[in-house]
Amino acid sequence: MDSGNLTRVSEFLLLGLSEDPALQPILFGLFLCMYLITVLGNLLIILAVSSDFHLHTPMYFFLSNLSLADICNTSTTIPKMLLNIQTQSKVITYSGCITQMYFFTLFGGWDHFLLTVMAYDRFVAICHPLHYMVIMNLWLCGLLVLVSWILSALGSLLQCLMVLRLSFRPGLEIPHFFCELNQMTQLACSDNFLNNIVLYSATVLLGGGPLAGLLYSYSKIMSSIRAIPSAQGKYKAFSTCVSHLSVVSLFYGTSLGIYLSSAGTHHSQASAKASVLYTVVTPMLNPFIYSLKNRDIKGALKRFFRVSGKLGTIILNQKM
């Protein structure tokens, strides 16, 4: 088959997590519930932060952006998967696949950068508490989020442009529930050596850089906490990092687990099942991690629902 025929691909087939027809209703219900919990939980975080002036601080500003990134990231994959199950179709168009790949890589990278920015915020708060509001001013916070977004967008654009130069055979079956960048590169029929070089270079620069910054921030944080004389002071300082540390551990722990599972097995669908952890489960758990032991978030949500309830009562009384 000549390369000219290979490039004229209009659609792919997403095999999903299982081809067993009996499991499709279960998968549909399970992923629909997880998606709704993810969207609702992260939306509540955004509403709590935006509606309560007590939460108009750098830490919660970054948290609301992280919640937005989680909603967008999950929304690039799960709705298409649910639609395919509902319509009993596995088809995704070539343009749809590239678009999905771009936005998934974009929001995943943004998530990655935001976790590092949040670590820097905790570093300034604990290591330089007297200058915290001077350093973490509104301009710097906005700039950090904007730079994170731009770097993620450029990295995602570069990698997707590299995929566009590849050739694929017609009717290609993708053993995944979404178009994943690395897997699409490996499934190409044309030479993907340059793509692999770009992929690994981008991973080192855009992945290793933020990780190094995150580790540096926490090394300084731990040094500062150890220098605090009182046990109560150490506990108070460390407690401000617990939620973020939990999310970071979940994010990198699942990512490392996926990498090791994909490296240790040639069964692509096994890797697809494992990838559910970081594509669906992690964004779903983040709101719970940040709100369960956070008095500020819980207080803001209570006030939000109290005001919403009063407004609802007033509107109903006026209609009556």
> What residues make up the domain containing 273?
11-296
In this prediction, residues 285-310 reach a mean pLDDT of 80
Which DSSP symbol is given to 293? T
**Within a domain: 145:** yes
- pLDDT digit string, tens, across residues 33-72: 999 999 999 999 999 999 888 889 999 999 999 999 999 9
* pLDDT tops 80 at residue 158: yes
Compute the distance between CA of residue 121 and CA of residue 113 in angstroms, rounded to an integer.
12
- pLDDT digit string, tens, across residues 180-204: 888 888 888 888 899 989 988 988 8
**Within a domain: 308:** no
Which of 187, 179, 178, 200 is CA-nearest to residue 259?
Answer: 200
**Within a domain: 315:** no
Q: Is the pTM of this model over 0.75?
A: yes
**Within a domain: 303:** no
* pLDDT tops 90 at residue 290: no
**Within a domain: 306:** no
* Residue 219 or 9, more confident: 219
**Within a domain: 4:** no
pLDDT averaged over the chain? 87
**Within a domain: 163:** yes
- Please state which of the ranges 9-13, 241-245, 269-273 shows the lowest mean pLDDT: 269-273
Do residues 16 and 269 touch, judged by C-beta distance below 8 A? no
Report strand pairing: 11-14 vs 173-174.
parallel
The region that residue 171 occupies, defined by phi over 0 for left and psi between -120 and 50 for alpha, beta otherwise, is left
How many other CB atoms are found less than 10 A from the CB of residue 10? 9
Do residues 183 and 174 touch, judged by C-beta distance below 8 A? yes
Compute the distance between CA of residue 260 and CA of residue 181 in angstroms, rounded to an integer.
17
What's the CATH code of the domain at 121?
A: 1.20.1070.10
In this prediction, residues 288-311 reach a mean pLDDT of 79
Which of 73, 75, 78, 77 is CA-nearest to residue 28?
Answer: 78
Indicate the SS3 state at residue 229. Answer: coil
How many independent structural domains does the chain possess? 1
**Within a domain: 307:** no
* Band of residue 147 on the pLDDT scale cut at 50, 70, 90: very high
